[in-house]
Structure 1
Amino acid sequence: MTDTSLSAADTPAQKAGRNALKLAKRLRHEVGDAINDFNMIEPGDRVMVCLSGGKDSYALLDILLGLQKSAPIDFSLVAVNLDQKQPGFPEDVLPRYLASLGVEYRIIEEDTYSIVKRLVPEGKTTCSLCSRLRRGILYRVADELGATKIALGHHRDDIVHTLFLNMFYGSKLKAMPPKLISDDRRHIVIRPLAYCREKDLIRYAEQKAFPIIPCNLCGSQPNLQRQVIRDMINDWDRRFPGRIENMFRSLRNVVPSHLADTRLYDFAGLRVGAALPDEGGDTAFDSETFSDPTAPVFDDEEAAPATVRRPVINILDTRVAGGCGE
């Protein structure tokens, strides 16, 4: 007799479970790839994960905890939340959640909400001042905790949005780097979700049932410039699938000789007979061809420029039995 349970179609629950597993694996690999490509986490690092209570930072902590268990290098994590004393902020949610994970954590209480409300006129955007205050506090706490890296939950869509914000409103070709050094040169900030799509993080948060805490200080403000950009790009994504992927990949394929910044390329020094730039010469009269927007940037790891090759240690590898290096 044939086992009908094997030949029957998957139940909705089975299909949902399989899709959830695929999503978790994809996000894990994207985070691992970003960490590898930019050498975000090194042996012995103490990573301070900034937890806001939103879907992105929850996902960041969850994925890093998973990688920490299996990675071939040892690194520690400490979750930090800044309680900015916003009215109605549920102070018990994050401590209860973090305690249930057994992860080291610190809750910092600073009344930046009152400062922002006092200094910013009614109806004006509070994000800029709020961010500066929050950044200064988190840098101080990183020193207190002995953190060697500060991990933020910005994802691929945030990076693309920032690119267009700077172009449209700041006249700069500038985005949000996956890794940077702070202005005081004392802190390394990393964004391990740099390769992750926001739509995937939304699904992941739903599947994990993270206890989301909304931001009532900035999230309730209408007509923010970032929201205008977000709506525009989301519309593009609906009408032209693959466009966001291409825009993000362009940030990893910069050609200074074909832009217009004299600080990055010596246009004034160009002379007849000089060697052509590595990026290619004049294509103004050529028919343009574009690659498949869904294709990876580098199909062959060895073909990638040395500046973006992954280090020898791959955080996605599984540690050997008995501990790292044994």
Structure 2
Amino acid sequence: MTSEIDRKEKLELNKLQKRLRRLTGQAIADFNMIEEGDKVMVCLSGGKDSYTMLDILMNLQRSAPISFEIIAVNLDQKQPGFPEHILPEYLSQVGVNYHILEKDTYSIVKEVVPEGKTTCGLCSRLRRGSLYGFAEEIGATKIALGHHRDDILETLFLNMFFGGKLKSMPPKLLSDDGKHVVIRPLAYCKEADIEEYSLLKAFPIIPCNLCGSQENLQRQVVKEMLQSWDKQYPGRVDTMFSAVQNVVPSHLADTELFDFKGLKQSEDAFKRLNIIEL
């Protein structure tokens, strides 16, 4: 019985790996995320998404038609009780070059953000600044983050509901100072697939005690809304992601994206209209 379970799990793992590998490869190709000679800094938090991203990128690296380097980087934010030994042990085991960057952003966040308020915004800004600086230090040409398809859709709705903007997380982004290219290789991958893959691979997950336990966050509310839709109307989330890839500026209302003021009837159409009227 045990061997049968193991066989089924192995088959499921292989199926998931092929799907994630195919979708990641497709995203990399569609957005030209990784090029010949790139040094890719893979940001590893210890969560399911970044573990999966590193695993799939290493898998693709072995058979890619181009040569690129992978360097895994973890930012140790000095959270109390953070198990510092887990990531170095795992990264040494899989044989990837890595760095552990130590920055006490935890103390800054706890000092600045009032008790009970959302810490994610400040935490992410401090984390991003530290990682960007280190990427420059080691000469990384690309910075890979583990955001997936569901993150992109959640961000879209968060910006619509609470920010009044129609924008999300792009699969490829140039930083404001123009120094860093940020890529999201898992942009086409579903969170459910990543979660299952992570369980089957038995990644040594490290929970985020700083913000991961905060309940009723706006993102969590949006996540639950999307999950509810997906259960009630299978395929709806897939269609919504397709919409993000098929934008029609002339059918929205942004005057900076489309010249509505200059929109006029064409001369040919005007002549045809006159002929019909005559």
Whether the 8 Å contact between 2:9 and 2:200 is mirrored in structure 1 is: no
Equivalent residue for 1:186? 179
* Structure 1 segment 98-113 matched on structure 2, within 5 A: 98-113=91-106
Shift of 1:274: 6.3
User: How many pairs align?
Assistant: 267
Select which of 53, 57, 67 maps to 1:74. 67
Shift of 1:272: 2.1
Equivalent residue for 1:52? 45
Shift of 1:30: 0.4
Unaligned ranges ≥5, structure 1: 1-9, 277-326
1:73 alignment partner, SS class: coil
Unaligned ranges ≥5, structure 2: 270-278
Give yes or no for the alignment of 1:95 onto 2:95: no
Equivalent residue for 2:221? 228
Equivalent residue for 1:159? 152
Structure 2 CA distance for partners of 1:142 and 1:44, relative to 1, 3 Å: same
Give yes or no for the alignment of 1:30 onto 2:23: yes
2:67 alignment partner, SS class: coil
* Structure 1 segment 1-326 matched on structure 2, within 5 A: 11-273=4-266
1:25 alignment partner, SS class: helix
Letter in 1 for 2:232: R
C-alpha separation in 2, matches of 1:274 and 1:185? 43
2:152 alignment partner, SS class: helix
Letter in 1 for 2:214: Q
TM-score by length of 2: 0.94
Whether the 8 Å contact between 2:61 and 2:68 is mirrored in structure 1 is: yes
Q: % of aligned pairs identical?
A: 67
Letter in 1 for 2:87: L
Structure 2 CA distance for partners of 1:57 and 1:45, relative to 1, 3 Å: same
C-alpha separation in 2, matches of 1:67 and 1:19? 19
C-alpha separation in 1, matches of 2:246 and 2:72? 34
C-alpha separation in 2, matches of 1:62 and 1:35? 15
Select the structure that is richer in helix.
2
Letter in 2 for 1:194: A
RMSD of aligned C-alpha atoms?
1.3
1:11 alignment partner, SS class: helix
Equivalent residue for 1:295? none
Shift of 1:275: 8.7
Letter in 2 for 1:175: S
Q: Greater RCO between the two (CA within 8 Å, min separation 6)?
A: 1
2:27 alignment partner, SS class: helix
Q: Which moved more, 1:75-84 or 1:214-223?
A: 214-223
Structure 2 CA distance for partners of 1:90 and 1:235, relative to 1, 3 Å: same
C-alpha separation in 2, matches of 1:247 and 1:157? 10
C-alpha separation in 2, matches of 1:148 and 1:275? 51
C-alpha separation in 2, matches of 1:52 and 1:155? 14
C-alpha separation in 1, matches of 2:81 and 2:248? 49
C-alpha separation in 1, matches of 2:57 and 2:24? 8
Letter in 2 for 1:144: E
Residues 77-102 of structure 1, C-alpha deviation per residue, up to 9 Å, x if partnerless? 00000000001100000001001111
C-alpha separation in 2, matches of 1:215 and 1:264? 39
Residues 292-316 of structure 1, C-alpha deviation per residue, up to 9 Å, x if partnerless? xxxxxxxxxxxxxxxxxxxxxxxxx
C-alpha separation in 2, matches of 1:127 and 1:106? 24
Residues 142-198 of structure 1, C-alpha deviation per residue, up to 9 Å, x if partnerless? 011110000000000000000000000001000100000001100000000000000
Structure 2 CA distance for partners of 1:275 and 1:160, relative to 1, 3 Å: farther
C-alpha separation in 2, matches of 1:275 and 1:165? 44
